[in-house]
């Protein structure tokens, strides 16, 4: 999960290499003008897979954003993965955001569940229940108290691959890398009802750096 930040996510290395090789071959065979569109595609691929190191807040009761993007929803709902009432904060990621997902809290993984599903626009409400998704339920110990935090990676209209690298029993540290979603998607964060939001709908957030709420 943790690895020295190479600026570009390892998930994208084969794709980046392939796009650059194709661009170079076309340049050699027919000239740079014909290859220009392929270089533009390569630039897009490179920016999509960027994975910069991030400063991580040390505030003990902070819940960090698991993804880059925009807050699209903050509301009280039922957390179907931990079977409880919860406060849900949803982060929508477009194709220009960093798509490496980070852990929101220190804790132990209690449950990992994958659900096949649809690929409707991740900006829609029904995406949380209808789309392909992967849920990680974490038991977070904060100031001597146990809190349940659920992180759900949700596929989107273009996103077709959810990657999750943690298993039940894993001990996680906030800010560490735990997954990746390719090409635009969403991450839902389910928190205890007592959590105090630090963001609002429409706010832009950064993975591992922005505090979504406090517990």
The secondary structure of the chain in percent helix, strand, coil, rounded to multiples of 5, reads 20, 40, 40
Is 185 among the residues known to form the active site? Answer: yes
Q: How buried is 100 (Cβ within 10 angstroms: 0-12 exposed, 13-18 middle, 19+ buried)? A: buried
Whether the CB-CB separation of 151 and 66 falls below 8 Å is answered with yes
Q: Supply angle C-alpha 158, 163, 169, rounded to 5.
A: 150
User: Can you give the C-alpha Rg of the chain in angstroms?
Assistant: 18
Identified catalytic residue from 23, 90, 104, 185:
185
Instruction: Label the pairing between strands 211-214 and 62-64.
Output: antiparallel
Which residues participate in catalysis according to the annotation? Answer: 185
């Amino acid at each position: 999960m943790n690895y020295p930040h190479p600026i570009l996510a390892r998930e994208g290395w084969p794709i980046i290499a392939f796009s650059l090789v194709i661009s170079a071959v076309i340049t050699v065979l027919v000239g740079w003008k014909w290859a220009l569109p392929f270089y533009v595609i390569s630039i897009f691929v490179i920016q999509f897979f960027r994975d910069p190191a991030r400063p991580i807040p040390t505030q003990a009761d902070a819940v960090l954003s698991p993804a880059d993007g925009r807050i699209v929803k903050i509301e009280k709902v039922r957390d179907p993965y931990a079977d409880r009432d919860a406060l849900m904060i949803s982060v929508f990621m477009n194709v220009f955001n960093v798509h490496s997902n980070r852990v929101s809290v220190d804790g132990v993984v209690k449950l990992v569940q994958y659900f096949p599903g649809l690929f409707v626009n991740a900006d829609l409400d029904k995406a949380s229940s209808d789309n392909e998704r992967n849920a990680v339920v974490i038991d977070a110990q904060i100031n001597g108290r146990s809190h349940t935090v659920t992180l759900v990676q949700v596929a989107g209209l273009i996103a077709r691959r959810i990657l999750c690298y943690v298993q039940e029993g894993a001990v996680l540290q906030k800010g560490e890398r735990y997954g990746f979603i390719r090409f635009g998607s969403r991450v839902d964060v389910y928190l205890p009802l007592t959590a105090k939001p630090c963001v609002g709908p429409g706010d832009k957030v950064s993975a591992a750096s922005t505090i979504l709420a406090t517990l």
